[in-house]
Amino acid sequence: MADYSHLLDDTERGFLDMLSRFAAEEIAPHAAKTDESATFVHSQIAALAATGMMGANLPEAWGGADISAHALFEGVATIAGACASTVSALTAHYLATDSLLIGGDDALRARLLPATAEGRLLGAFGLTEPNAGSDPGDMRTRAQREGDGWRIRGRKCFISNGGVADFIVVYAVTDPAAAHRGISAFVLEKGTAGLVPGRVEQTMGLRGGHVWELDIDCHVPDANRVGAEGTGFRTAMKVLDNGRVEVAAMCVGIARAALTAARDWAKTRIIGGEPLANRQGIRWMLADMETDLAAAELLGHEAARQRHAGQRFTAAASRAKLFASEAAGRIADQAIQIHGGYGYTRDFPLERHARDLRIMRIYEGSSEIQRNIISGLMLA
Element spanning 272, H or E: none
CA dist 273 and 96 (Å) reads 54
Backbone angles phi, psi at 199, to 5 degrees: -75, 155
Interior CA angle at 176 toward 221 and 201, to 5°? Answer: 70
The residues, ordered by sequence, that sit 6+ positions from 259 with a Cβ below 8 Å of its Cβ are 1, 286, 289, 290, 293, 331, 335
* CA separation, residue 54 to residues 93, 95, 120, 308, 309 (Å): 8, 12, 9, 19, 22
CA dist 187 and 77 (Å) reads 29
Q: Are 313 and 327 a contacting pair, CB within 8 Å?
A: no
Identified catalytic residue from 26, 129, 246, 364: 364
CA dist 151 and 170 (Å) reads 12
CA dist 171 and 150 (Å) reads 13
CA dist 20 and 235 (Å) reads 32
Per the annotation, the verdict on 229 as an active-site residue is: no
- Beta partners for residue 156, in sequence order: 214
- Beta partners for residue 160, in sequence order: 211
Q: 3-state class of 171 per DSSP?
A: strand
The residues, ordered by sequence, that sit 6+ positions from 36 with a Cβ below 8 Å of its Cβ are 207, 346
Chain-centre distance of CA 331, in angstroms? 19
- The size of the chain, in residues, is 380
Neighbour tally for 20: CB within 10 Å: 16
Q: Which residues are catalytic?
A: 364
